[in-house]
Amino acid sequence: MGWRRALAAAAGLLVFVYAASYADLVLRARSAYLEGEKYLEWNAHPEEKKAHFEAEFQARRKTLEAARDAGRLTPAECGKKVELARFERDQAVAESSLKYAYVWFETAADLFSPPESRWTRLARAQETKTRELWKKELDAKGIPYKDYMLE
């Protein structure tokens, strides 16, 4: 009787691990796909992207100023850190949204597959479209590239 119970427990554990792994990969693929969609949306509406990073900057600035007011930072340190946060905001706004969308779709399609899920199929379809849009953006900006550079 003991070996049957052990075998059933092992089989149950195996099913649990497989199901948990499957669920984890599907949820990660969904998360990556939705990040790609966010960046694709920001490409169509750059003002939303700017507002997002501006809000992040303002929150960071308030945190730094609170640390300065509490005496954890000197005014000079606070000023430098605020300037760094401003630079990071400006860089994030200037970055290509299409590049990030492509990378997120590629991540969802390649890293979280198998198993093949709804999200990996959607990501694969969007990956191809986004790559072409990104190429057009690079061509319009006069940035030279080779196809292997976009992988």
Q: Number of structural domains, the chain?
A: 1
Distance CA 53, CA 86 (A): 10
**pLDDT tens per residue, range 117-126:** 999 999 999 9
Please name the residue that has the structure tokens 């979280």.
112
* CA dist list (Å): 101 to 39, 41, 108: 5, 9, 11
Range of the domain at 52: 2-150
The model carries a pTM of 0.82
Q: What is the pLDDT of residue 148?
A: 84
Average pLDDT, the chain: 94
Q: What is the pLDDT of residue 1?
A: 65
Average pLDDT over residues 4-28: 93
CA nearest neighbour of 39 among 89, 101, 124: 101
Please name the residue that has the structure tokens 């030279």.
144
**pLDDT tens per residue, range 106-116:** 999 999 888 89
- Return the number of other C-beta atoms located less than 10 Å from residue 146's C-beta: 7
